[in-house]
Structure 1
Amino acid sequence: MSRLDTQIETQRLLLRVQRAEDFEYFAELQQDEEACRFIGGTAPRAAAWRKFLQMPGAWAVQGFGMFAVIEKSSGQWVGNIGPWHPEGWPGTEVGWALRRAAWGKGYAFEAAVASIDWAFDTLGWTEVIHSIDLDNVGSQELAKRLGSRNRGRGQLPAPFEDVVIDIWAQSREEWRARKR
């Protein structure tokens, strides 16, 4: 089985590689100023399409990427959550971005737990980080809930080198001990 066929089911969600039919929801996310405030800002539709192709490309080239998160009850794409490690990134990240319609439902936590398990168990990662803007209180709270700790300032590669972030992280051993 190819990694491109990877699927993880949680109680309410299906995590899988992004597909073309997910684009309309992705484009909606990319045009929402509040939802994109801490992930590089909004993008017009043509730029959103190019950005959309990053995740399937990461899966094809690296064997992993953020999962498309699908709400099982509706079949709708609600966001991207999962492993991410582009060139120059400060570590092996499990990140997240959700459409505003999915906020406050616990989906980010549910999908992040499944993604972290998968990154440690399948990819063999020894640490997971979350690169979080200093003003992104919601993501800081999620990182805490996941058991990550703020390890201080981090540096993103160009063209994001001016974004001030903290690195939240935990080791595989910390994750497994916490889950016991």
Structure 2
Amino acid sequence: MSAVNRLDTRLETPRLLLRVQRAEDFDYFAELQSDEEACRYIGGTSPRAAAWRKFLQMPGAWVLQGFGMFAVIEKSSGEWIGNIGPWQPEGWPGTEVGWALRRKAWGKGYALEAATAAIDWAFDELGWTDVIHSIDYENFGSQELARRLGSRNRGPGKLPAPFEDVPIEIWGQTRDEWNARRAQR
């Protein structure tokens, strides 16, 4: 697998900056990883030491794959509010754009704003032809976000170990569907 060096990639939306995660983001990430409600559908909470190991996944993905979820920075405060973007670990059911935000960022439209920019980037820069979202059956908030993004429920899916017993649905859309929907606006 050959990765293109994209470590300086930055996307901007009206309210957000999306960039590769940095060491100074860790305290915010650790806060997210300790929040039971925020982590309910993404594998559960992690103590700080385990959160550090998870934190290193995204910069590692950027180095090895040339993409990973973006650190999402709220422009008005400069705070890290979550991770949103492309994600495809070994054995994953497809090319995913996923999300996880700190609870203080919920209900502000940030997830839609950042996911839209990330999907555009995945299709335009990575050349993906399809985007999925692996969503827990009971995660109604993420299901609603997927709908707002134009994705549809494609049915049950399966994640690789150690998450193979977690019931998920695969939501998604093709690049052509995404572009057609964007052209209508």
- Kept after mapping to 1: 8 A contact 2:69/2:84: yes
The structural deviation recorded for 1:169 is: 0.6
User: Is 2:140 the partner of 1:146?
Assistant: no
Question: Partner of 2:53 in structure 1?
Answer: 50
Q: Kindly, what percent of the aligned residue pairs are identical? A: 81
Rounded Cα–Cα distance in structure 1 between residues aligned with 2:145 and 2:173: 13
| 1:49-95 residue CA offsets vs partner (Å, 9 max, x unmatched) | 00000000000000000000000010000000000000000000000
Question: Partner of 1:69 in structure 2?
Answer: 72
Match of 1:112 among 112, 115, 120: 115
| 1:146-169 residue CA offsets vs partner (Å, 9 max, x unmatched) | 000000000000000000000001
Rounded Cα–Cα distance in structure 1 between residues aligned with 2:154 and 2:48: 36
The structural deviation recorded for 1:129 is: 0.1
Question: Partner of 1:37 in structure 2?
Answer: 40
Rounded Cα–Cα distance in structure 2 between residues aligned with 1:154 and 1:48: 26
Rounded Cα–Cα distance in structure 2 between residues aligned with 1:45 and 1:60: 23
Match of 1:87 among 79, 85, 90: 90
Rounded Cα–Cα distance in structure 1 between residues aligned with 2:27 and 2:104: 14
Question: Partner of 2:182 in structure 1?
Answer: 179
Question: Partner of 1:21 in structure 2?
Answer: 24
- Kept after mapping to 1: 8 A contact 2:5/2:63: no
Rounded Cα–Cα distance in structure 1 between residues aligned with 2:8 and 2:92: 26
User: Is 2:22 the partner of 1:5?
Assistant: no
Partner AA of 1:97 in structure 2? A
SS in 2 for 1:176: helix
Rounded Cα–Cα distance in structure 2 between residues aligned with 1:45 and 1:102: 21
Q: Mind listing any 5+ residue stretches in structure 1 that lack a counterpart?
A: none
SS in 1 for 2:24: helix
CA RMSD of aligned residues (A): 0.8
Matching of residues 161-172 of structure 1 within 5 Å: 161-172=164-175
Q: Mind listing any 5+ residue stretches in structure 2 that lack a counterpart?
A: none
TM-score normalised over the length of structure 1? 0.99
The structural deviation recorded for 1:2 is: 3.5
Instruction: State the 4+ residue runs in structure 1 displaced beyond 6 angstroms.
Output: none
SS in 1 for 2:84: strand
SS in 1 for 2:94: coil
| 1:85-144 residue CA offsets vs partner (Å, 9 max, x unmatched) | 000000000000000000000000000000000000000000000000000000000000
Question: Partner of 1:128 in structure 2?
Answer: 131
Match of 2:102 among 82, 99, 102: 99
